[in-house]
Amino acid sequence: MRTMTTPSGEAPAPARRDAEATKAAILRAARHLLARHAHADITLKAVAERAGVSPPLILKYFGNKDALFARVMSFDTDADALLDAPLDALGRHMVRHVVSSQRERGADPLLRIVFAPLHGDHGDVLRANFRAQVTERLAARLTGADAGLRAELAVAALVGLGVMYGIARGPHLRGTDADDLAERYGPAVQAQLTPGAGPRDPAGACPRR
C-alpha cells in the first residue's frame, strides 16, 4: 500500500492523531473553565477560544455542550491512571500521580470535585461520578472492615494535597521532588488502604517501637 506524501516528500501526520489531540485540547479547556466558572456561565465559544478551535468543531466531536460536559464531569479515565498500581504500593503511586499531573498537565485527577458547589444540579452529577468512579471503585479493592470509610479518607488526603499544591500553591510543596513527596506523604494514604501494615520511613524500614 502506497503512503501519501506532501509535495516536500514527507508523510502527513495521521488525521486520527490530529483529531485526538484536538479532542484532548477541548477537554482540557472545558475542565479549566469548569474549575473557575459555573456550568451555566460557560459557553461553547469560551471553550473553543481557550482550546484554539472553532465552536463547530466542538459540536462535530462532542455533539453539544451537555455531551461535552458529561465527558468533563466523568472521572473514569483519570481514575484508571490514579489507581494503576498494586494495592501495597498504591498510596505512593497516587501521591506521585496527583503531583505529576499538576506539574506536567496543569490538571489534577481529583480536584474538579472541589468546585461541585459552583454547578447547581450539575454539581450533583459531578459528586455522583466522583463517588462511583473514584471512592467506591477504590473501596472495592480494599479488604477488611470499613473499606468505604478508608477509601474516602485516603481520597480526602489526596484532595487536600491537590488543594495545597494547585490552589494554595504552597511553595515548599511545589518546590519538592514528586518522588520525595510520594515517600513522605504516601505512607499516610497507604495507612488507610492497608491498615496494620504500618507506615514506613523513606528508606523502607519499619518504624521502631
pLDDT digits (tens, 9 = 90+) for 5-19: 444 455 444 455 588
Average pLDDT over residues 85-99: 96
Cell 489526596: give the residue: 158
Could you give the 3-state DSSP secondary structure of residue 158? helix
Tell me, what's the pLDDT at 177? 94
Largest CA distance in the chain: 73
Tell me, what's the pLDDT at 207? 44
Asked whether residue 101 carries a pLDDT value surpassing 60, the answer given is yes
Looking at per-residue confidence, does 48 or 115 come out higher?
A: 48
CA 156/CA 6 separation, integer angstroms: 52
CA quadruple 172, 178, 179, 183: dihedral sign: positive
Q: What percent of the chain has pLDDT over 70?
A: 86
Tell me, what's the pLDDT at 16? 58
DSSP letter for 41, please.
G
**Band of the pLDDT at 70, cuts 50, 70, 90?**
confident
Global pTM value: 0.73
Summarised one tens digit per residue, pLDDT across range 129-171 is 999 999 999 999 999 999 999 999 999 999 999 999 988 999 9
